[in-house]
Amino acid sequence: MDEKTITFNDIPEAMNYLITKMNDLEEMIRTSAFQQPDQNDWFNLEELCDYLPDRPAKQTVYSWVNQKKIPYHKKGKKLQFLKCEIDEWLHTDELQQEIIANPVLQTNKKRRRS
């Protein structure tokens, strides 16, 4: 349906268009990533170590968990890591490292006036 001014005679067609679009959106939501994570979206400690680019030792990950540097979930005594949270954490960590490495990107530092 083209973007145009809707007249009284166009209302039935416009409603049909909106209903069709709403049904399409509902179907997309039903089949999209808004669903609960699958079992495959979770890592145990060993899987996480294999997934991370630096392949850290288990003890390193335990240290990150202890310092609350990495997103994690505890199920009983076992640690579990949600893949989407780890991906976001990796992306955020990369941005922080880039800011630290590039002083021009550091906006919190006060500039000296001459």
pLDDT tens digits, residue range 101-114? 766 555 554 555 54
- Locate 91 and state its tokens: 């992306």
Residues 93-99: what's their mean pLDDT? 73
- Give, in order, the Cα–Cα distances in Å from 33 to each of 12, 29, 51, 65, 86: 33, 8, 21, 27, 16
Query: Does the structure show a pLDDT above 80 at 74?
Result: yes
At residue 51, the pLDDT reads 94
- Locate 97 and state its tokens: 């490292």
Q: What is the pTM of this model?
A: 0.54
User: How much is the CA Rg of the chain, to the nearest whole Å?
Assistant: 24
pLDDT tens digits, residue range 26-57? 887 777 655 555 556 899 999 999 999 999 99
